[in-house]
Amino acid sequence: MIIWTMAPWHKHCAPDVLSVDLSHDRPYLRPMAILPILEVPDPRLKTISTPVETFDADLKTLVDDMTETMYAAPGIGLAAIQVGVPKRLLVIDLQEEEGAGDEPVRNPRVFVNPEILDPSDEHSLYNEGCLSVPDQYAEVERPAQIRARWQDLDGKVHEETMTGLMATCLQHEMDHLEGILFIDHLSRLKRQMVLKKIEKARKMGGGHVHNEHCRH
């Protein structure tokens, strides 16, 4: 099975990265923000997100911050509600290619108001993890192929048939837009076991779930 996100859950480990703020008459460089990621059992994660209706500089700024937060975590997908913004917006970067020095090539994809049009009858099983469910993984069954429709940052509509990890990742992130976590696909017993493990780890770590990626 493939663990599609191997993420430490410390959100303040990356340096500031500069982006261009176009919301003023004279653009200037501003540091991208590393946003705090909501973790279970935060009730905001159960919010059903609303459609994005305004495609402006503020939306682009939010996407920049979400993308940098995803990389800093690190993870391969992040929905807006995970940083406390209940909008139908998500970013994904599988980072499957390698560049100089075997570093992953960054190629973030932005999905605004995504929809699944035609899920296949065939299903696949992946061992999933989530930045909002610290250091926990479980097998989840989802359609192996989907036809997706979404808008980009300019409001243009796109459609694409997706399979494999991309199909799984998009479905996982779209679940967040409905207030659903991957652990909600598990039995009640397994879900409670995961939550108890997280609570125990927090108590031992002073409120933070430690792992090998932490710098303290």
Token pair 């940052």 is found at 153
The alpha carbon of residue 126 and the mean position of all alpha carbons in its chain are separated, in whole angstroms, by 16
Q: Burial level of 182, CB count in 10 A (0-12/13-18/19+)?
A: buried
Helix (H, G, I), strand (E, B) or coil at 43: helix
Query: Is 176 one of the annotated binding-site residues?
Result: yes
Question: For the chain, first and last CA: distance in Å?
Answer: 31
Helix, strand, or coil (residue 123)? strand
Spatial distance between the Cα atoms of 25 and 136, rounded to a whole number of angstroms:
46
Q: Cα(47)–Cα(93) distance, rounded to whole angstroms?
A: 24
Nearest C-alpha neighbor of 143 from the set 129, 157, 163, 160:
163
Q: Which residue's structure tokens are 């705090």?
A: 36
Active site residue 39: no
Q: Which of 39, 68, 128, 173 is catalytic?
A: 173
172 carries a ligand binding annotation: yes
The Cα 112–Cα 76 span in angstroms is: 17
Binding region: 130, 172, 176
Show binding-site residues for Fe cation.
130, 172, 176
Catalytic residues, by residue number, are 173
